[in-house]
Structure 1
Amino acid sequence: MRALTIRQPWAGAIVHQQKRVENRTWKLPAKHVGARILIHAGAQLDMNAKIYGPNFGDYGAMIGVATITGYHWSTDGQCCAPWGFENAYHWTLDNVTALPQPVPAKGALGFWTPTPDVMNAVTAQQTGVTW
């Protein structure tokens, strides 16, 4: 399973609120459409973020799983309001499930493969998590 690092508060909004779009400047590679991914909360806060709710405190950890269902380009962001950015690719997400316990991990740019230790800690939490 691949992981995607997302800065806070956005990772927390995906896992704990109803944010079902990830804004990116780059087009989603076709091979990831339909893929189940791990949501990794980056180690840094997005200082430009508008806070739509609580600032979730998990940083540098796997916090959930999601399915990427597709993507589209948006010039105005209104299609995915209030979460969509303008002039960005909107990666659409579904079947989002929070992990019962965050799993510390170092992130990376783009899609990346977690270490075996991280994957073992994540899969040990299978109860209640839709894989």
Structure 2
Amino acid sequence: MKAVTIIQPWATLVALGVKKLETRSWATKHRGDLAIHAGQKVDKEACLVSQIREALLKHGINDLRDLVTGAVIAKSVLTDVWSISRPFGDKQIVERLSIDSRRTICWGGYMPDEYHFGDYSDGRFAWQLDDVVQLQEPVPAKGQLSLWNWEEES
């Protein structure tokens, strides 16, 4: 199964099902099953962003030490990749264009929590993660850059 390493707290937000889009500087042609690996790094500053902190607290995570690192923590299905553009500048509308269907979605004005869970700068990509299932027990694994192959133990 393909896997992607995501630093904390974003990996946990994906595993909890509150973060549906993983933003990256690169697109991928992969569609299908994707393991979510929590990297070793925890972005402590991001954990202080109110929307992120509230989402973690809502799910009983009130200490950074509760964030699992160095393990696969969820499985998902990568169903689409969206290119991000900011046609009116960084403080205005976020436009997402589906690479697969060419459908466009725009966010403007009040931004949804999802906006605060990623980097929606012009030229980036948002990977749509569906059917996320958090693993009962994290599976220790060493992450890698880019997509990598994770051998799930039976």
TM bin, normalised by shorter chain, reads 0.7 to 0.9
RMSD of Structure 2 on Structure 1 (CA): 2.0
Of 64, 72, 95 in structure 2, the residue corresponding to residue 62 of structure 1 is 72
Output the CA distance in 1 between the equivalents of 2:6 and 2:149: 15
Could you say which residue in structure 2 is the equivalent of 1:42?
A: 39
Output the CA distance in 2 between the equivalents of 1:57 and 1:91: 22
Offset from partner CA, 1:109-128 (integer Å, 9 cap, x none): 011112x4xx21xxx4xxxx
Output the CA distance in 1 between the equivalents of 2:137 and 2:145: 23
- What secondary structure sits across from 2:11 in the alignment? helix
- What secondary structure sits across from 1:66 in the alignment? strand
Normalised by the size of structure 2, how large is the TM-score?
0.67
Normalised by the size of structure 1, how large is the TM-score?
0.77
Output the CA distance in 2 between the equivalents of 1:82 and 1:73: 19
Structure 2 gaps of 5+ residues are 57-63, 87-92, 95-105
Could you say which residue in structure 2 is the equivalent of 1:2?
A: 2
CA contact (8 A) 2:17 2:132 kept: no
1:47 Cα deviation from its structure 2 partner: 4.2
Within 5 A, what are the aligned runs for 1:28-39?
Answer: 28=28, 30=29, 32-33=30-31, 35-39=32-36
Offset from partner CA, 1:24-72 (integer Å, 9 cap, x none): 01112x2x12x10110000101245233432552100010000011011
Same amino acid, percent of matched pairs: 32
Amino acid at match of 1:26: W
Output the CA distance in 2 between the equivalents of 1:17 and 1:91: 14
Could you say which residue in structure 1 is the equivalent of 2:120?
A: 86
More moved, 45-54 vs 103-112: 45-54
1:83 Cα deviation from its structure 2 partner: 2.3
Could you say which residue in structure 1 is the equivalent of 2:83?
A: 73
2:137 is equivalent to residue 95 of structure 1: no
Output the CA distance in 2 between the equivalents of 1:94 and 1:113: 19
Task: Identify the structure with bigger relative contact order (alpha carbons < 8 Å, sequence gap 6+).
Answer: 2
